[in-house]
Amino acid sequence: MKKATYKFLPPQGNDENRLTVVLGGELTINTIAEFVENMKKPIGEYDNFHLKLTGVDTIDLAFLQVIHSFCFSARDMGKNVKLTASLNAETILLLKNSGVYNILVSEIN
């Protein structure tokens, strides 16, 4: 079983209060708890977030719901969230065929 990968990139230059979180690997129900745990501390420390989905091997509806929930909750707390995704054609097709592609696209800035 593959694992999710998380990289927390500290603020640079003009983005002094923006944390970039690069997510990849297996983003599924099996890795949600780890993602939530990893985001507990940063949500209290930063006002701006950039979630980058790249190098994603697998993503499922459960993980998309958690990303959507994080974006919604952070914005409700007055924080800014930018979401970008670089997904392979196979993953995009799967998301489109399953009807959840629009959930992801609605959050992408």
Question: How high is the mean pLDDT in each 10-residue block of the chain (109 residues)?
Answer: 87 85 96 94 94 92 90 94 89 83 71
Are the C-beta atoms of residues 89 and 54 closer than 8 Å to each other? no
Please count the structural domains in the chain: 1
Q: Report the pLDDT value the prediction gives residue 109, as an integer from 0 to 100.
A: 60
User: What is the residue range of 10's domain?
Assistant: 4-107
Q: Report the pLDDT value the prediction gives residue 1, as an integer from 0 to 100.
A: 62
Stated pTM of the model: 0.86
Whole-angstrom distance, CA of residue 73 vs CA of residue 43: 10
- Look up the CATH number of the domain holding residue 12: 3.30.750.24
Q: Report the pLDDT value the prediction gives residue 88, as an integer from 0 to 100.
A: 86
Are the C-beta atoms of residues 1 and 33 closer than 8 Å to each other? no
